[in-house]
Structure formats: structure tokens, C-alpha cells
Structure 1
Amino acid sequence: MSQQSFLSRLSGPYLVFTHFVILALAGLTLSRLALMLWQWERVQAAGNPAWMLVQGVRADLILLGLLLAIPVLLAPVLAISRWKILWRRFSYVWCLIALTLLIFIELSTPSFLLQYDVRPNRLYIEYLKYPKEVFSTLWHGFRVPLILGTAFTGLLVFLAMRRLRAVATQQGGTSNKKLWLTWPLVVVLVFVCIRSTTQHRPANPALFAITPDAMVNSLIISSGYSVLYAIYSLRHEARSTEMYGKLDEATMLKQALDWPWLKHYQFNNPAQPTWHQQQATVQRDKPLNLVIVLQESMGATFVESLGGVPVTPELESLKQQGLWFEQLYATGTRSVRGIEAVVAGFAPTPAQSTVKLSNSQQNFTTLASVLKAAGFHTQFIYGGEAHFDNMRSYFTGNGFSQIVDINQIKKPKFVASWGASDEDLFDKADAELTRLQQLRQQSGQPFFSLVFTSSNHEPFEFPDGRIDLHEEPKNTVNNAVKYADWAMGQFFKKARQSSYWQDTLFLVVADHDNRVYGSNLIPVEKFRIPGLILGADTKAGTIDTLASQIDLAPTLLSMLGVSSCHPMIGRDLTLDSTSPGRALIQFEQYFALKQPDGLTILKPDGTVVRGTYDEAKKALHLSDLPASRLQYEQALAQVQLPSYLYRETKYKSDHRCDTPVVAP
């Protein structure tokens, strides 16, 4: 008896599925092996490569079990003798579609790894909403991989189609009685593959996080499994922090609010546990205007005085004129995470940023909602299309009165894949601020403008003749950052001569760093960002304490001279700039509470580790000693609180404070 006839007899009506599993396992294993060889230095440093390959096959069986669950469950109805032809066609089409998706996602993995230092994940799904921007980026920045990947996908799908079609014609049948008797065994086999463990919880990607390098951990599973789990996780984001453990509400609130800078306030309303009255430390007859320049991806990597590449000379010059943050950290790795932290003072969670979540699209507290209630005109200025990343919806629903995007920028000098260049953006911003200052002089109304740049974004397009290139070729991240810095410098030269300068407080801050990657479990160095407050009567100085993006909003409110009621628990650094600070870091599914004495890191499998960070060597050293219960609770409270506030709608801007402020 030939091997094929034996396989046909053994598989019966499941022959196409059997071949699908063989082809998929072979392809995914070869892909994993190729990726590990490509990243061999980090793979070898992280652990046992052979064990990683074994665990990879285990993860692949989970994915294949999930893909086969539906057709196997339908088998007692469709695989009976009466529907034999229909079952063959259904099996063939189902497996071909599944293989096509697996091949496409797997072949797109190298480019995604280069950009994000991890396999395709939730970002892969989110960006599908913006085909214009994504395709433009791929075409201009990854043209060769895109063409080769598409061609190779087509070739492999063609070969798979021929193989599966041939197998479908040979698929054996079986009596209805035998089908119904053997079907429970097949279901159990698929169930065992999906669960992959006898523990009380089924296996998930966290089970395969077996090394201290997040990128290497991502290689163990397949890209298809990573994307499928991301889709599944989107449905459970409201309680996403429960992967780390769970504190009761009283303990969570006690630990989350136990910071020296919050001792100045009273939180006595159980229904609105973080709402409080913040008394501005600076008293003004009229509040200042506020302009936030949110710099796309301009992290510490590009700031010489912070240990980076010397491509931000304008920023280095400006820091001598304002209040400079020496140890400021971003909360995440996406623009929407930076917007959430800077504009809303909202701490990070493993879920999507609140910029995209449904319960935060209206009446969610932001600087704009607080300042609008204080009589400010509020606006958002962006060189691209404001709908990207759901920004228009989020901003218009949460306090921003005016949206200015590329559609209002007339005759831009240069338009790139992501919109008008930064110099066009800043020219428009200068015109808008001049107009609003004239209105202020007439009516007394102050304004808040959020200016969001985009030139420092893959594929790094910017106009010629503006800067002396840092390196060749032209379209590199270092050159794009240098151009973005130049455009910002030109803006501030204009602003200093403007009518609005003396009445305006400016914040320059990065949303996140470019390409957050590294061999550390959490690449801490890639979360450090520049921050600078200048303008009006700001005195030059340095804030040396550890700080987070969520500390900026309360600090700005005080410096503006605006006393307000809000739920933001960031630190007003004008009130307390000496207490040891903290940074909140969300990296993939890891959360870290960084303090001067070390980091407490929560892992998605519910475990917690302690680590110390060597700033000079940019190295994270994990401790062999376990974290204490107090350290665990303190870290868990910081990430559980924002999830709780969002889920229970306790960050809504229609709440009011009913407790007095305690004088500092």
C-alpha cells in the first residue's frame, strides 16, 4: 500500500485538512528557522534555540487547531455521503484561504520586524484602517520587499492551490456511521491542539515568552497566531490588565494614589475617586495661551545631550531658554499613546489607547476640555488628514473646537506620504496663532493649540535644500529628524518676534521614540524623550527628577495660571519637583513602573520581576530576587487604575469636584 493511499485511508474525509497541516507546519517552521538565523546573535544570547523551535511547533499547532475548529465542527453535517462533493470543495477553499493568509502574513514579517522589532501584532490590524497612508509608506519606504513579498506570496499560493486541488480529488469518503463515531476523536484532537496544556487556563502567546528578549519571544510563535490573538484580545480590552493579576478596588486606589505629590489633594468622593481640585501655583490676572508641539518620534535617540545622535541642534539651542526635562519618559510606542498621555494625562494600559476606544470618544477629560471650560479657544493643527488614528473623532468629542489639517493648508511647499511638510505645518500654525492672538486682544479669550508634526515618519520624505544632510542617502531617519528639528527652529524664530510670544506657554515634547527595539525585556532607553517648556515668563532651568508624560498636563495648568477640577493624577512639577519620581511604561504586553531604585515589571503570564537599569550602558539587569508584595501591588495599581477609570466611565469631563483643595 502506498504512503498516499495509507494517508488517504487514515484521514478519510479529513485528507485535505491533513495536507493543510503538513504544509502549514513545514512552512511556518522554515520561516521561523530563517528568522532565527537572521537574528541569530540575539536568539543565541537569549537562550536555547532548539527549545524555541520545539515550542514554535507547539504554538503552530494551536494556530492550526483554531483554523480547523469550524470545519471540523461542521463535519457531521457536511461530510456525510450525500454532501461529499460539497465537502470536498468546502475543505479545499477553506484550507486555501487559510494558507494564503498564513503565507502573506509570514512573508510580511521581516519588514514589520525591521520597523517594530516584533512580529506582526495589533498594529498590523489597526493600520488596515488607513490603506492610503499605509500603502504610500510601503511603496516609498519598502518598495522592494513589497514587490518581492507579493510575488513570492503569489507563487507559493499557486503551488499550494495545485497541491490542495490534487489532494481534494483523492479525498476518501467514509460511511456516515463511521464518520459520526470517529468525529468525537477528531474534535478532541483539535481541542488538545488548541488548549496545548493541562493547566486551568489554555495556552496563549504569554506562555511562549521564555527569554528576556521580547523580539526573540515573538519569533517563537508564528505571525498568524500573533495577529489572530491580537484580534481576539481587542474584544476583551476593557479588562486587559487582569492578565497581570487583580487588586480589590480599595487596595488599587490606595496604592495608585500613594504618591507624595498627591498628598496635597483630597480624594474623598468614592464615586469619582481621582477627581480633585488643582490650585494653580502661579497666580495670573489673565491665563497664558498654551501651544503644545508634539514631535513625531523625536525621542532621546536623536538628542545629543540625552546620549543620542546629534541631529537636533535647534532643540539643543532652545533648551537653554526654557525649562528642560532631563529624565522624561514616554508611556508607550505609538502616537495615540503619546496623545493620550500628554493631552489627557491618562496612564497607559495593555489595551488600545483611549484615542481609539469607544467609551472615550465623548466627554473624556483632556487638557482641551479643561481649558475650554475655563474659556479657552481650543484647536488641533496637523499636516496630514486628521481622521488618521481616529484623532478627529477623539479631539472633536473631547474639547477641541477647531480642527486644522492638510485640507486647510493652502499651496503647501512639499507634500509627503503623511501630509504637508513640517515647515508647511508650522507656517500654518504661526498664521493660526497670530489670528487667535488678535482675537485675544479684542475679546480677552486665551487659546490652546496642539500642533502635531509628521515629517519624521517612514518613509522620511522632506524637501531638498533645507539642511546639511547628516548622512547619505537622503531619506533616513536621522536626516528626517534633522529636518523636523530645523522646521521647528524656524517656527520658534518667528514666534519670538510674534505678538503672541509674551502671552503664550509652549511645550515641545516627543510622542514616542522612533523604532522601539532592543534585546532588553523592555528597551527602557527607547522610552526616554525630550521635553521643554518655554515662552512667556518661563525661566531657564532643569527638572532633574524622573517624570512621565502624564505629569505634563498638571504642570502646564499651574504654569498657565488655571485652577481646575479634573481626574488627572500626574504630578504638578511646579508644586513638587524634588520627590523621587516615577515613569509608567507600556511595552507590548509588559508594563513597567520605573523608579529611582529600579523597575517592577509585570508580565502577561501574571508573574512579576524586578530589574535595575544602567543608564550609561543602556542595559536592563533582571534580579534573581522576587519582587515584594508591596512592589507588585504598587505596579499593578498603576496599570489597573486607568483601566478601571475607563471601564467605569470615571474619567468623563462632566463630573465635578465637591471636595476642597488642601493648601500646599
Structure 2
Amino acid sequence: MRAIKNLSRSLALFKPLGYFTVIALVLLSVSRLILASLYVNRVENAVSWSEFFLLGLRADIIQVGYFTLIPLLVLLPFITILHKPAAQRWWRRLLTLWVLFYTLILWFMEVSTPAFLAQYDTRPNRLFFEYLAYPKEVFSTLIHGFAGWLAAGIVSTLIFIVISYRCCRATEYRFKPRAVGRRYVMLILPILVVSSVLGIRSTLAHRPANPAFFAVTSDAMVNSLILNSTYTVEYALYNLKHEAAANTVYGDLTPDQVVEEIRQTPHLKQQEFPFTDYPTVHYQQATRTRSRPLNIVIILQESLGATFVESLGGLPVTPNLERLKQQGWWFENLYATGIRSVRGIEAVISGFLPSRARSTVKLSASQRQFFTLADLLKRKGYQTEFIYGGQSHFDNMANFFVGNGFDSIIDQDDYPNPKFVGSWGVSDQDLLNKLHQRLSQTSADKPQFTLAFTSSNHEPFEFPDDQIVLAEQPRNTVNNAVKYADYALGEFINRAQQSDYWENTLFLIVADHDTRVYGDELVPVSKFHIPGLILGADIEPRKISAVSSQIDLAPTMLSLAGVSAYVPTVGQDLSAPTMQPANRAMMQFGDNYGWLERTKSGEQLTVLQVDRSVQKFEYSPSSHRLKPIQQRPDAIQINKITAYAMLPSILYQQRAYFVPETAIASQ
């Protein structure tokens, strides 16, 4: 009888962990049920309810295991004194505070999830903590776009804190320290540690469970619902240390094998690669001969996906773009490389391939001596400039641009009397008026390179009154914002065509990505489809029907502008008259790498996944649906795709995506 009493008293020391485990599992399961009810059709189409909740419980046990293991490990050095009442009292107080704090974290993360899901179609991930560096933009978006969720989250969290605190105080009041046998504590503690470790591993296999273990459907959003939001954010933080090698997980090719595969691509096969430390640098001869190279202006349109372009199968809210496409090179099958603005920036101005890591705009090793059009053209005698309507520090743009070739940066503080200022800066009209003003001041003997980045088409979709006939009600919707952005673009081009600089300037109008990239496939191809248009100077009307990528735009623009140079880009110069189009595009969607290619039998999508087999699909551009292809993927083709997927990590690790000074001197 005495032994049972001692055992019971010893177990009482760990009651807060027991309460925490039960409360946490119930909290996370209820949250998962609520979230699943918001997306019930997608969940039902992807997975059985029993599998969904059982896997979810398993993921929650992993998370709870981490939070229980830490205090147990901290306790181990003091195990020999825990049988004493004074030590028990301090232990229970610390344990209660620990439980309260981490229960609050779980609550906060789950309450934050619905708004994040609505915006990004996934549970909180790396973006959740990255954007904390930009409170003005984030809170403006939340207040205007998700005010209901924000208010509910704040109120419920405050209520939760009060209730939890009172419960903990009551538990502490009832706890009476009593002397117990040392051996009982020393017996129970190791058992709890081992139980927590087994819960964290969740498997007896060689490798512990990770997010890929729970990726049981082709719908990435449903896979994220199976997990919990604290776990997804923690895993994103953990993965930061692996960013340099983020894409090497897709295969076991050596760096030399990767480079050799890339060099065998048809449009690169005849090139020479003379620089050992810069394995993709080659000389690109321009297809247009000019006495003076053209100005190059890139207008990067925020979130302007094919969804909003009628002739690309979207909505009729871009009449000016539809009109302008008759005057230049119109890309009918152009695809973004990713789903964030910085991914679009690195693809368009650097021609850099996408990866699972953060964009190179943010990574530390690419802040200097990383290839951009600005860096190349500055060495060619161009003036280089970035024009933005918001704060240029956002997403680390200013630091990246200044370190990689941009002479000057214009942002929100440089507009003395803007027409309109919203949460994300001045309006597109203000931005494009500034662009017109700067181009009008261009020196006749010094060409200009300008990147202008719009922002009106961004949540919460604010724009000036009385500029457009609204496409719908209420006013602040994405369709109205897109229509306004298109109006501002048309207004600018009309003025530019009447200006002195038009005949000497090459314009690229292209989206960074679509407004919301989501879907129930491994890679939602249709949401990567974007418009692209090259016009100005002597550019003749032409339709580019080949499947193309944002990485093809930089080499094409250089060639059309009459700039011959060494470049590290692996995209295709689509102006080359004798070269067949590559007819491929690459897309990074979370951990999945998609390769879309047009073949004789139609368009096919190959998807590389982390710790899972390669999958292949037929893609229908008209229905936007994927149909699985059952036969085994061709090994030669998979090697090529894997090489493209692995290359960005290799080039970043080796700091090899740059044109060395020796190349410039040899031209």
C-alpha cells in the first residue's frame, strides 16, 4: 500500500504534463476539424476522414512530444533531489509556467491559421515569420482584408490567457508537496523521456517522421491540414539551416553531373563554358545588331496571373493588355517559377532557377556578386534604376539591388505629391508617372535599364476613386484592383508611345506570379500561367506559343536590345531564329518541383518530391486538370529534370552564378 502511495505522489509531480498532453491534443484536433469544415470538398476528394484525423493525431503527438521532452530533459540533472518537498514546489511552478506558455503558443498558431490559409492556401510556414519584419504592410493587410479573423484571434487569445491562468493557479493551490521515495521518481522520469522520444519519432523506421511522411494526397493544402501550425512553422525554421542545399534533396547527381546535364540542353549544347569556377557562364551573341543598344524597361506587374486575361482563359478585366498584345511579342504559354514576388524578381532579372529555399533576393550569399541584368548592363555603360511605389526594404529588395548593379532606387519616400497612397505604397498611376518622368530624362548617349514594380493589385486591393468602371461590388476586390492596374498600364503606354524615348526602348510587361496560387494537385499548373509582352522600338507583332518560363526572358531581352555578353543564365533566347523552342517551364510549389513540357503527345508535367517517388501527369490546358501517367518515367528525362532542379542550390553554394571580371575583360 505504501508503494502505491509513493508511486501516486511521484506521478503527481508530472500532472501538468498530463493535463497539457490531453488539452493540446484536444485543442489541435478541434482546430483541425474546424479547418477541414472550411475546405470540406477538398478534404473529401483527397483523403478518407479516418486517415485524415488519425494522421493528424499522430502529427500532434509529435508536436506535444517536443514540448514535454524539453522540461523532462532539463529535470534529469536534478533527479536526485526531486523527492524533497522544496524541490517539488519549485519544479511544479516552473512546469506550470512551461505548460501555460506552450499551450498559449499552440492556441495562437491555430487561431492565426484560417486567415493564413485563406491567403496562401497552406498552414503557416516560413512566410509567417519572414513577414514579421514588415509590420506596417502585414497589419495593413490584416486590418483591411481579414479584420474579422484578426479581432476574433485577439479576443479569443486574451480570453484563453485569463482562463488558463486561473486554471493553473487553482492547480497550484491544490498541490501539496510530500516526501516521496527517490527510486520512484528515478523510475518514472526515464519512462516519460522514452515515451516522449517515441512520440516524436512516430515510427521505428531508420528516419523519424517529417512533413513528407504525412503527404498522403496530391493536394498540398490538405497535406498541411493534417499537420498542425506550430509544427509547420518549427519545421520551416529548422529548414533554414539547409537552405544552401535545399534542392539537392531531389537526386543524388554530383555537381559535375548536374552541370554536364545542363550543358547538354539543346540551346546550350553548342556553347563554350570557359570559366571553371562559373560553370554556366557562356557568351551569348545578340540576334539583333544595333549601333546603340536599346534602353530596357521591365514593368513587373504584381499578381497579374492569366486568371485575369481573357485571351488566356481568364476574366475580361485587362482590356488594355488585350489591346497591347497586338503590338508586340505576346507570350501565350508563359509560366512563373514560383508563387512569391521575390521569386518572380530573381527569375525575371537574374534568370535564376527556382528552389525550395528562400529567393536569392533574401539569401545572404547572393547580396553581392550575384548576376542580374542590372549588373551586366551597368558594366556595359547603362544607367540602372529600380522604381517601386512602396518601401524598398520590403523583402530585402533594396539591399539585393544595390549590391547587384542598381545605381539608384526610388521608393515611396520619393513621391512628393502622390495621387493615392494605400497600404502597400503609392498607386500604380503614381509609379508609372514616375517611370515616364525618369525615362524622359534619359541621356541620349547613355542607355537605361529600369525595373518598375507595381503594387496596386495586392491585398487589401486599394486604388484611387473614379478611375475605372468597377468590374464588381464591393469595391476593394482583386478583380477591381486588376482592372485599375491595367488602366494605369494602358495610360502609361499611351504616353510612352508619344514620347521621344519610345523608339529607343524595349519594354517587357510581365507578372511576378498569380494572385493566389492554390489547387488540389501536386503542382497547380494553371495558377503559374502568367501573361508576358515585349513591345517598343522596332518590335514586330508576334505570338510566342511555345511553353516558356520567366527564366527565358532575361536572355531574350538582352538579345533583342542588341547586347552581346557573357551570361550565366540557362534560359533560352527565344529570339534565336534557328533554334527550336525548348517548350518547357519549371515551377516550385512548396517542396514540389514541377517540370511542364510540351511533347508530341501533348503537355506533360513531371513532379519531383522530397522523399517520394517521381510522378508524371498529362496536363490539359483547357480544363487545367492533371491525369496520372502510369508508365515508369524515362530515366534520361528524369536525370535532365533533376539536374535543373538541383542546379540552383549548387550554383548558390559555390557562389558561381556571376560573370567574373576576366569574362568582361575578354569581350
User: What residue in structure 2 maps to residue 546 of structure 1?
Assistant: 547
Which residue of 2 is the match for residue 51 of structure 1?
Answer: 51
Partner-residue secondary structure (3-state), 1:412: coil
Q: Distance in 2 between matches of 1:129 and 1:164?
A: 34
Which of 351, 360, 366 is the matching residue for 1:354? Answer: 360
Letter in 1 for 2:378: K
Q: C-alpha offsets along residues 291-346 of structure 1, whole Å, 9 cap, x if unaligned?
A: 00000000100000000011000111110111111110000000000001001110
Q: Distance in 2 between matches of 1:110 and 1:6?
A: 46
The separation in 2 between residues aligned to 1:266 and 1:179, in whole angstroms, is 71
Deviation at 1:376, TM superposition (A): 0.5
Q: What displacement does 1:276 show?
A: 0.7
Counting matched residue pairs gives 653
Distance, in Å, in 2 between the alignment partners of 1:358 and 1:92 is 40
d(CA) in 1 for partners of 2:523, 2:137: 29
1:422 is aligned to 428
1:6, CA displacement in angstroms?
12
Q: How far apart are the structure 2 equivalents of 1:70 and 1:239?
A: 29
Shift of 1:659: 12
Q: Say which is worse superposed, 284-293 or 152-161, in terms of deviation.
A: 152-161
Q: Counterparts of 1:252 and 1:167 in 2: how far apart (Å)?
A: 60
Q: How far apart are residue 256 of structure 1 and its match?
A: 2.5
Q: For 1:24-173, what aligned pairs fall within 5 Å after superposition?
A: 24-77=24-77, 80=82, 81=84, 82-170=86-174
Per mean C-alpha deviation after superposition, the further-off stretch among 258-267 and 464-473 is 258-267
Amino acid at match of 1:129: A
What is the correspondence of 1:515-594 to structure 2 with a 5 Å cutoff? Answer: 515-575=516-576, 578-594=580-596
1:498 is matched by which residue type in structure 2?
Answer: S
Q: 2:458 maps to what in 1? A: 457
Distance in 2 separating the partners of 1:132 and 1:7: 54
Report the alpha carbon displacement of residue 566 of structure 1 after superposing the two structures with TM.
1.8
Task: Identify the residue that residue 402 of structure 1 maps to in structure 2.
Answer: 408
**TM-superposed deviation, 1:162:** 2.4
> For structure 1, which segment, 598-607 or 248-257, has the greater mean C-alpha deviation from structure 2 after superposition?
248-257
Deviations 1:206-226 (A, max 9, x none): 110101111111110011111
TM-fit CA distance, 1:148: 1.2
Amino acid at match of 1:224: T
Letter matched to residue 344 of structure 2: G
Unpaired stretches in structure 2, ≥5 consecutive residues: none
Instruction: Tell me the distance in 2 between the aligned counterparts of 1:268 and 1:8.
Output: 75
Mean CA deviation greater in 518-527 or 163-172: 163-172
Task: Compute the displacement of 1:160 (Å).
Answer: 2.4
Helix, strand or coil at the partner of 2:545: strand
> Within 1, Cα distance between the matches of 2:33 and 2:612?
29
Distance between the aligned counterparts of 1:211 and 1:168, measured in 2?
45
User: Letter of the aligned partner of 2:114 in structure 1?
Assistant: P
- Cα deviation for residue 78 of structure 1 reads 5.1
Which residue is 1:23 aligned to?
A: 23
After superposition, give the CA deviation of every residue in 1:557-585 in whole Å (9 maximum; x if it has no partner): 10111111121111100115633421010
Preserved contact between residue 300 and residue 452 of structure 2 (Cα < 8 Å): yes
Of residues 393-402 and 613-622 in structure 1, the stretch that sits farther from structure 2 once superposed is 613-622
In 2: Cα distance, 1:306 partner to 1:263 partner: 33
Supply the AA of the counterpart residue of 2:61. L
- Per the TM alignment, residue 523 of structure 1 is displaced from its structure 2 partner at its CA by 0.7
Aligned counterparts of 1:276 and 1:653: Cα–Cα separation in 2? 9
Once the two structures are TM-superposed, the CA of residue 629 in structure 1 deviates from its matched residue by 2.3
Greater shift after overlay, 220-229 or 90-99? 90-99
Q: Are the equivalent residues in 1 in contact too, given 2:251–2:646 (CA < 8 A)?
A: no
Which range moved further: 595-604 or 280-289? 595-604
Q: Write the letter of the residue equivalent to 1:140.
A: H
User: Which secondary structure state, in structure 2, belongs to the residue aligned with residue 158 of structure 1?
Assistant: helix
Paired AA for residue 48 in structure 2: N
Alignment of 1:281-292 (within 5 A): 281-292=287-298
Does the alignment pair 1:493 with 2:497?
no
Determine the C-alpha separation between the residues in 1 that align with 2:471 and 2:625.
27
Does the 8 A contact of 2:306 with 2:314 survive in 1? Answer: yes
TM-superposed CA distance for 1:252, in Å, is 1.3
SS where residue 250 of structure 1 aligns? helix
Cα pair 1:268 1:659 within 8 Å, conserved: no
- 8 A Cα contact 1:608 1:626, kept in partner: no
- Aligned partner of 2:348 among 342, 353, 357: 342
Question: In structure 2, what is the Cα distance between the partners aligned to 1:392 and 1:100?
Answer: 36
Deviates more, 1:72-81 or 1:462-471: 72-81
Output the CA distance in 2 between the equivalents of 1:8 and 1:106: 34
Cα distance in structure 2, aligned partners of 1:253 and 1:649: 14
The correspondence for 1:627, drawn from 604, 627, 633, is 633
Deviation at 1:413, TM superposition (A): 1.0
Match of 1:614 in 2: 620
Alpha-carbon distance between aligned partners in 2 of 1:578 and 1:566, rounded to the nearest angstrom: 20
Structural mapping, 1:313-324, within 5 Å: 313-324=319-330
Q: How far apart are residue 409 of structure 1 and its match? A: 0.8
Q: Tell whether the 8 Å contact from 1:304 to 1:310 is kept in structure 2 after alignment.
A: yes
The alpha-carbon distance between structure 1 residues 507 and 515, as it changes in their structure 2 partners (threshold 3 A), is same
Partner Cα separation in structure 2 for residue 470 and residue 322 of structure 1: 27
Q: 1:651 to 1:269 in 2, by over 3 A?
A: same
Gaps of 5+ in 1: none
Change in Cα spacing, 1:170 to 1:55, as seen in structure 2 (3 Å) is: farther
The one-letter code of the counterpart of 1:639 is: A
The answer to which of 241-250 and 61-70 deviates more is: 241-250
C-alpha distance in structure 2 between counterparts of 1:158 and 1:50, whole Å: 34
Whole-angstrom distance in 2 between the partners of 1:10 and 1:240: 46
Secondary structure of 2:548 counterpart: strand
Give 1:186 shift: 1.7
Question: Does residue 238 of the first structure (1) align with residue 238 of the second (2)?
Answer: no
Aligned partner of 1:257 in structure 2 is 263
Alignment partners' CA distance in 2, 1:649 and 1:8: 61
How far, CA to CA, are the matches of 2:266 and 2:626 in structure 1? 27
RMSD of Structure 2 on Structure 1 (CA) = 1.9
CA distance, structure 2, for counterparts of residue 47 and residue 277 of structure 1: 51
Amino acid across the alignment from 2:584? R
What corresponds to 1:603 in structure 2? 609
Going from structure 1 to structure 2, the CA distance change for 1:655 and 1:622 (only over 3 Å counts) comes to: farther
How far apart, CA to CA, are the structure 1 residues paired with 2:7 and 2:157? 28
How far did 1:552 drift? 0.3
Distance 1:301 1:380 in 2: 27
> Contact between 2:220 and 2:522, CA under 8 Å: does it hold in 1?
yes
Cα distance in 2 for residues equivalent to 1:164 and 1:605: 42
- Find the aligned partners of 2:144 and 2:78 in 1 and give their Cα distance: 47
CA shift in 2, pair 1:369/1:660, >3 Å? closer
The one-letter amino acid of 1:111's match is: A
Please give the alpha-carbon distance, in whole angstroms, between the structure 2 residues aligned to 1:126 and 1:605.
26
Give the partner amino acid of 2:423. Answer: S
Report which stretch shifted further, 284-293 or 154-163.
154-163
Report the CA distance shift for 1:99/1:656 in structure 2 as closer, same or farther (over 3 A).
farther
- Asked whether the equivalents of residues 522 and 607 of structure 2 are also in contact (C-alpha less than 8 Å), the reply is no
Task: Read off the aligned partner of 2:195 and give its amino acid letter.
Answer: L
CA distance in 2, matches of 1:341, 1:527: 13
User: Deviation of residue 164 (structure 1)?
Assistant: 3.0
Distance in 2 between residues matched to 1:414 and 1:527, nearest whole Å:
30
- Calculate the TM-score normalised by the size of structure 1: 0.95
Q: Taking structure 1 as reference, are residues 9 and 626 closer, same or farther at Cα in structure 2, changes over 3 Å only?
A: farther
CA distance in 2, matches of 1:17, 1:245: 42
Identity of aligned residues (%): 49
